């Protein structure tokens, strides 16, 4: 990890040939994944480009043990869960900053733009990276998106303009400008606009009646923009400052209700974020990082249901301020200690009658140690979390203190090949959200955090055979969720309670291959398979005792294949998901069919001009090519076959 950081910092402002870096990071990242003492998966931007992947939900299909809940269409909410844990157990990090939602715990990953990123990675049940914000230690797993830092040649400027058109009236212009401002400073800007009618056709099966329908009220338009300033301060210090803006308006089509279709809800978002981070290496034994961020997320929900005399019109405003400091001490090679402290402030204002205007301050303190020499890697972390809350009306939830320990170990076997065995353990939790605690009548201020425990054991193998290389990982796990926060019905109203208990036994297998067959053909292939036995063990007398929890396939897998040639790159990805049940009780009426989604991409980048400074990237994709009519969430149909083309000109 340290190597990667140093590489990153070195490459930031100073000229470097992009290709060299690319190869270096690809190799580096694969090694990191194989060496990791807890499951780590990573994909680099180059592979995303070659497989024609433009959204995070598409990218995550090829990750083992990851489930994206997708309500369909570009505007439909997409959340990511790790190994049958609810999405609220997934920590989401963008460029080292945690993105969260204190109101409902759900981060919509559909809004991430992948046009200028470096990599996407997912860590499950632990991490070898101990130089990062303390609060990540409280998540069962972490999804991390890292943006590409600017790399300049002698001109000191880079720019690209892109236009993408897709099925169902989707237009997506994108602009990116990066400029070196001085020896030490560089600035970047990108803006991404998406407009989509989202009126995709689907087939509605109602027993013997099959009708061709159009998804109604699924339009979306959004603008996402970011401007960053990067600077080198002192000899080994770097500063990054960023302003981000996201704004959108979308129709909420709701579930497809049989015999009547009249969706009438809309959602507006306006999210502004400012952040700054500073990283320095004061001497060879110390490394420090500190960051500050402020996020203001506003949204408006309107229900135009004709049943209401006046439309329901609700506003929500969330604020999050966060301060994070990390120090890493390396007394000798391969031995690191870190201490991290996060302070996070959250608040929620809403126009909903009865909103008590909750505010929360959470302090996360983590201490970690890492040993990484020759064959053995061992990491241990303990994180303490203290939560305090205030409300303007009524009484707040009680303060809480919670500890999350984790430990992992990996050992490289004394063989000729790079075969490692690993084991990890992690206790984590999710805090009750503001909705869980305070939402109108159902909120319950006495809720405890929902606890997750994970035990993982597995092996990784990597082998280079000259031009060919193989890597594989196999892991088995035993997880428990206790005090699951669920809505429990009572006489007149529902209330949130800590009553659920879920047992998960599963396995993730993954494999990847890369081979150069000649100067003109490189093939990359990867595949993964996941088995999840995730059952409700709350109450032996209940009808759903030991039934698979809702929306969790027992079997799923994915694969991808990329052919790189000088003339064209071809990428193919597929995802297969087994039967699921949409209800806690697994009865035939609630079974949903398995599905397979295949996608194909053809792309090529032309270079021209003096010293090949100009490039034109062209890409065409066909998604869900077999036009399978499937649903991730029952009665939220996914689009069938769709196409998109991209033209991107870069300097």
Which stretches of the chain bind another protein, using CB under 8 A? 206-209, 254-260, 262, 306-307, 353-354, 393-394, 440-441, 488-493, 497, 542-544, 582-585, 587-591, 634-635
CA dist 485 and 538 (Å) reads 12
Q: Which is nearer to another protein, 247 or 265 (CB)?
A: 265
The CB-of-584 to another protein minimum distance in angstroms stands at: 4
Burial grade of 456 (CB within 10 A; 0-12, 13-18, 19 or more): buried
CB 322 within 8 A of CB 364: no
Q: Which is nearer to another protein, 564 or 579 (CB)?
A: 579
CB of 442 to another protein, least distance (A): 9
Nearest-approach distance from CB 106 to another protein, in angstroms:
18
Round to whole Å and give the CA distance between 383 and 136: 9
Q: Are strands 209-214 and 201-206 parallel, antiparallel or unpaired?
A: antiparallel
- Nearest CB to another protein, comparing residues 207 and 414: 207
Q: Nearest approach, Cβ of 604 to another protein (angstroms)?
A: 45
**Between 15 and 394, CB nearer to another protein:** 394
Report the 3 state secondary structure along 535-597.
EECCCCCCCCCCCECCCCCCEEEEEEEEEECCCCEEEEEEEEECCEECCCCCCHHHEECCEEE
User: Minimum distance from CB of 208 to another protein (Å)?
Assistant: 4
Six-digit token string for 446: 């006495």
Burial class (CB in 10 A: 0-12, 13-18, 19+), 353: exposed
Closest distance to another protein from the beta carbon of 583 (Å): 7
Q: Which is nearer to another protein, 267 or 625 (CB)?
A: 267
Q: Find the Cα–Cα–Cα–Cα dihedral 11, 16, 20, 26, rounded to 10°.
A: 20
CB nearer another protein, residue 290 or residue 538? 538
Least separation in angstroms between residue 549's CB and another protein is 10
Residue 646: Cβ within 10 Å count? 22
CB of 111 to another protein, least distance (A): 24
Smaller CB separation from another protein, 279 or 389: 389
Secondary structure of 195-233 in HEC code, one letter for each residue = EECCCCEEEEEECCEEEEEECCCCCEEEEEEEEEEEEEE
For residue 539, the cross-strand partners are: none
* Whether the Cβ atoms of residue 483 and residue 448 lie closer than 8 Å to each other: yes
Considering the complex, state which of residue 221 and residue 582 has its C-beta at the smaller distance from another protein. Answer: 582
Could you tell me the smallest distance in angstroms from the CB atom of residue 553 to another protein? 17
Show the tokens assigned to 620: 């065409």
Cα separation, 69 vs 108, whole angstroms: 10
CB of 492 to another protein, least distance (A): 5
Q: Which is nearer to another protein, 306 or 466 (CB)?
A: 306
E strands, 351-467, where?
359-373, 376-390, 400-412, 418-430, 450-465
| Residue the block writes with tokens 């759903």 | 544
Q: Would you say 440 or 626 has its CB closer to another protein?
A: 440
In the complex, the smallest distance separating the C-beta of residue 254 from another protein, rounded to whole angstroms, is 7
> How many other CB atoms sit within 10 Å of the CB of residue 532?
24
Q: Which CB sits closer to another protein, 154 or 260? A: 260
CA 43 – CA 39 distance, rounded (Å): 14
Provide, rounded to whole angstroms, the least separation between the CB of residue 582 and another protein: 7
What are residue 233's phi and psi, to 5 degrees?
-120, 130
Q: Shortest gap between Cβ of 315 and another protein (angstroms)?
A: 16
Tell me the angle at which helices 18-35 and 2-13 cross, rounded to the nearest 10 degrees: 160
What does the alpha-carbon distance between residue 603 and residue 612 come to, in Å, rounded to a whole number? 18
What single string gives the DSSP state of each residue in 269-306?
EEEEEEEEEEEEEEETTEEEEEEEEEEEEEEEEEE--T
Smallest gap from Cβ 262 to another protein, in A, equals 5
Decide whether 351 or 607 has the Cβ nearer to another protein.
351
Residue placing its CB nearer to another protein in the complex, 39 or 253: 253
Q: Which is nearer to another protein, 8 or 216 (CB)?
A: 216
CA distances to 212, 571, 597, 634 from 639, rounded to whole Å, are: 13, 20, 11, 14
Tell the smallest beta-carbon distance from residue 259 to another protein (Å): 4
Enter the tokens of residue 498. Answer: 């800590």
| CA–CA distance, 629 with 203 (Å, rounded to integer) | 7
Element (H, E) at 46: helix 45-50
Beta carbon of residue 324, minimum distance to another protein (angstroms, whole number):
36
| Nearest in space to 184 (alpha carbons), one of 155, 156, 158, 160 | 156
**Which residue, 401 or 589, is less far from another protein as judged by CB?**
589
Query: Residues 357, 363, 365, CA angle at the centre, nearest 5°?
Result: 165
β-pairing verdict for 286-303 and 265-283: antiparallel
First and final CA of the chain: distance in angstroms?
A: 31
Of 205 and 651, the one with the shorter C-beta distance to another protein is: 205
């Amino acid at each position: 990890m340290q190597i990667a950081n140093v590489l990153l910092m070195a490459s930031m402002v100073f000229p470097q040939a992009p290709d060299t870096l690319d190869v270096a990071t690809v190799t580096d990242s694969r090694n990191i994944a194989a060496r990791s003492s807890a499951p780590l998966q990573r994909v680099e931007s180059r592979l995303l480009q070659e497989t024609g992947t433009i959204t995070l939900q598409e990218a995550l299909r090829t990750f083992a043990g990851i489930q994206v809940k997708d309500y369909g269409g570009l505007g439909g909410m997409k959340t990511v869960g790790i190994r049958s844990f609810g999405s609220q157990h997934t920590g989401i990090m963008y460029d080292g900053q945690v993105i969260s939602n204190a109101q409902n715990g759900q981060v919509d990953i559909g809004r991430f733009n992948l046009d200028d990123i470096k990599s996407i990675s997912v860590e499950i049940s632990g991490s070898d990276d101990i130089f990062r914000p303390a609060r990540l230690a409280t998540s069962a797993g972490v999804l991390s998106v890292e943006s590409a830092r600017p790399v300049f040649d002698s001109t000191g400027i880079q720019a690209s303009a892109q236009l993408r058109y897709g099925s169902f009236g989707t237009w997506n212009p994108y602009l990116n400008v990066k400029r070196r401002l001085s020896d030490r400073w560089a600035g970047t800007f990108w803006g991404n606009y998406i407009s989509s009618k989202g009126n995709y056709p689907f087939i509605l099966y109602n027993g013997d009646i099959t009708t061709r329908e159009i998804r109604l009220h699924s339009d979306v338009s959004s603008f996402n923009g970011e401007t960053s300033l990067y600077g080198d301060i002192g000899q080994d210090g770097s500063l990054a400052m960023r302003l981000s803006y996201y704004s959108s308006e979308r129709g909420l089509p709701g579930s497809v209700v049989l015999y009547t279709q009249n969706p009438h809800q809309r959602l507006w978002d306006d999210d502004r974020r400012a952040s700054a981070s500073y990283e320095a290496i004061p001497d060879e034994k110390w490394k420090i990082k500190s960051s500050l961020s402020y996020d203001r997320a506003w949204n408006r929900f309107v229900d135009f249901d004709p049943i209401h005399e006046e439309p329901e019109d609700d506003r929500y405003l969330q604020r999050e301020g966060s301060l994070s400091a990390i120090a890493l001490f390396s007394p000798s090679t391969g031995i690191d200690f870190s201490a991290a402290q996060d302070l996070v402030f959250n608040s929620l204002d809403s126009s909903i009658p009865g909103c008590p205007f909750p505010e929360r301050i959470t302090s996360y303190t983590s201490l970690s140690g890492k040993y990484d020499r020759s064959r053995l890697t061992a990491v241990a972390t303990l994180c303490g979390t203290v939560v305090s809350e205030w409300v303007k009306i009524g009484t707040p939830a009680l303060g809480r203190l919670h500890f999350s320990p984790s430990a992992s170990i990996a050992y490289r076997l004394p063989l000729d090949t790079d075969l490692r065995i690993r084991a990890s353990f992690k206790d984590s939790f999710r805090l009750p959200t503001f909705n869980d605690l305070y939402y109108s009548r159902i909120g319950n201020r006495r809720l405890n955090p929902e606890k997750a425990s994970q035990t993982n054991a597995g092996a990784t193998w990597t082998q280079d055979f000259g031009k060919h290389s193989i890597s594989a990982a196999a892991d088995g796990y035993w997880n428990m969720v206790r005090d699951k926060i669920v809505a429990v019905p009572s006489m007149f109203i529902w209330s949130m309670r800590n009553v659920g208990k879920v047992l998960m036994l599963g396995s993730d297998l993954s494999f990847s291959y890369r081979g150069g067959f000649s100067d003109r053909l490189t093939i990359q292939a990867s595949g993964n398979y996941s088995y999840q036995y995730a059952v409700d063990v709350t109450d032996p007398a209940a009808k759903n005792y030991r039934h698979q929890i809702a929306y969790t396939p027992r079997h799923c897998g994915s694969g991808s294949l990329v052919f790189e040639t000088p003339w064209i790159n071809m990428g193919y990805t597929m995802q297969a998901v087994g039967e699921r049940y949409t209800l806690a009780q697994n009865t035939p009426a609630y079974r949903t069919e398995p599905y397979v989604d295949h996608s194909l991409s053809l792309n090529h980048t032309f270079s021209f001009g003096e010293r090949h400074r100009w490039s034109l990237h062209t890409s065409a994709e066909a998604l869900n090519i077999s036009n399978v009519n499937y649903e991730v969430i029952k009665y939220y149909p996914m689009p069938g076959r769709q196409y998109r083309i991209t033209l991107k000109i870069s300097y």
